[in-house]
Amino acid sequence: MSRKALLWLVPVFITVHNLEEALFMPAFLKTRNASIPSNLQGLLPPITYRQFLIALIAMTAIPYAIALLGNLEREGSGSLYLLLGLQVVMLCNVLAHVVMAGVMGGYAPGVVTALIINLPFSVYLVRRAVKERWASRRVIVWLFPIGLIVHAVGLPSLMILAGSF
């Protein structure tokens, strides 16, 4: 498969994952919001389904915009780095879903596609990027702490920002 076709799978697989989350999130949010002790609600504010969907739509649209507007064929292009970085964020997201499922004692929205699509695809994409030198090893290595920060700070911030719409 060509690099361009493979990188187009990033937004496609994010969409599949986000659809699973969208379908099963209402019940999860209800349980999550009800379980937050009142003394922690300032730190962990309730999340509405509307707020979640706004953030989810943004996180689905961004990779398509990057793939559509960027040059996926050029070595070292910003769009290539951004899509690789987003897939690393999705790899971090796999761990988050597994932890959430463990805490919930069962299913957490998104855990199925995280494990059967995002985990293997992320590993394959990163390994192929390293093997074919789409980016330097240094860039690939830096994508992991950046991906963790984006997942840990960026996604919750987007969720909070979505609450103002």
Q: Which two tokens stand for residue 130?
A: 């390293």
What was the pLDDT predicted at 26? Answer: 94
Residue 147 is assigned to a structural domain of this protein: yes
Q: Which of 10-14, 37-41, 76-80, 148-152 has the highest mean pLDDT?
A: 10-14
Look over the chain and give the mean of its residue pLDDT values, rounded to a whole number.
91
Domain count, the chain: 1
Evaluate whether residue 85 is within a structural domain: yes
Distance CA 155, CA 82 (A): 15
How confident is the model at residue 110, as a pLDDT?
Answer: 96
The DSSP symbol for 38 reads G
Identify the domain containing residue 87 by its residue range.
Answer: 3-35+45-162
Mean pLDDT of 146-164: 85
H-only helix segments in 70-114: 78-104, 111-113
Of residues 133, 146, 120, 87, the one with CA closest to residue 79 = 87
Residue at 97 is within a domain = yes
pLDDT score at 39: 82
Instruction: Summarize pLDDT for 26-71 with one digit per residue, the tens.
Output: 998 998 888 888 887 777 788 899 999 999 999 999 999 999 998 8
22 found inside a domain: yes
40, part of any domain: no
What is the pLDDT at residue 164?
72
Does the residue 19 lie in any domain? yes
- pLDDT over threshold 80, residue 122: yes
- On whether residue 126 sits in a domain, the answer given is yes
Residue 18 in any domain: the answer is: yes
Token code pair at residue 77: 């292009």
> Per residue in 61-104, pLDDT tens?
999 999 999 888 887 789 999 999 999 999 999 999 999 899 88
